[in-house]
Each structure stands twice: as C-alpha cells, then as structure tokens.
Amino acid sequence: MSTLKDLRNIRLEKLNKLKELGVDPYPAKSFKNIDNIKAFEKFDEIQNTEVIAGGRITSIRKHGQLAFIDIEDNSSKISVVVFKNDELNLTKYSTIEVEGKVLQYQNRFEIIADKIILLK
C-alpha cells in the first residue's frame, strides 16, 4: 500500500509532466455551457451537437485505448467516453471540463470527448 508521501510524489511527477508538455495544469476559467442534467432534459435539442460540460471525476474505467469517465456536477452525473490514450493522466476526484458530442447509447447519455481540460 502506498504511503501518503508516495502518493504526493506521484502527483508531483504528473504535474511536472503536464508542465513539460506546455499544459497549464490548473487553468483558472471554465467555459462550461451546459449542466449535466440539461444533457438529459434537452437531449433531443442537443443530440450530436458540441457541448462543454464539467465536473468532478467519480469513476474511471479503462479498457485499453478506451476509457469511460463518470463526472458529476451540482446537478447530476454523466458518462464521458474517451477513445484515445489521455496524456493528462486523470485521477478520481480531479475536476475536469469536457468538450464533445452528446449521444445516446443503450439508453445512456454520454459525451464523446474531443477535448479534456484539467481544472483547478
């Protein structure tokens, strides 16, 4: 089992990697244009359109180059599908902003991620 110091060092390594890639690891602004609950309520209007949603990661399930991320904001939870190996090395409880299309798959609403930004 990892110690608190080990976990801290892992996070610091990830932070340095982001900085080396030229990514601001903690941008101050979010351009979120929809609450997660609105993706459900207005699905017919926003289906296959680009949205920017955000929230705290509550779970991450990785399957090779595919990942399913559940994010939760103050309104509800929604799934995000990522089809590539994500350089951000996201962890549970990180706060992110996701840009992508809203789709329905097997009676579940999902955002197919084009872009993910780690927020402060």
Any domain includes 95: yes
The CA-atom distances, in angstroms, between 12 and each of 27, 60, 91, 95, 114 are 17, 20, 13, 17, 26
The confidence score (pLDDT) of residue 88 equals 58
Any domain includes 7: no
At 45, is the pLDDT very low, low, confident or very high (cuts 50, 70, 90)?
A: confident
Q: How many domains does the chain have?
A: 1
User: Any idea what the CATH number is for the domain that residue 37 is in?
Assistant: 2.40.50.140
- pTM here is 0.68
> Which pLDDT tens digit goes with each residue over 9-43?
998 898 888 888 877 776 666 777 677 777 767 77
Q: Which residues share a beta bridge with 114?
A: none
Q: Quote the domain boundaries for residue 33.
A: 26-118
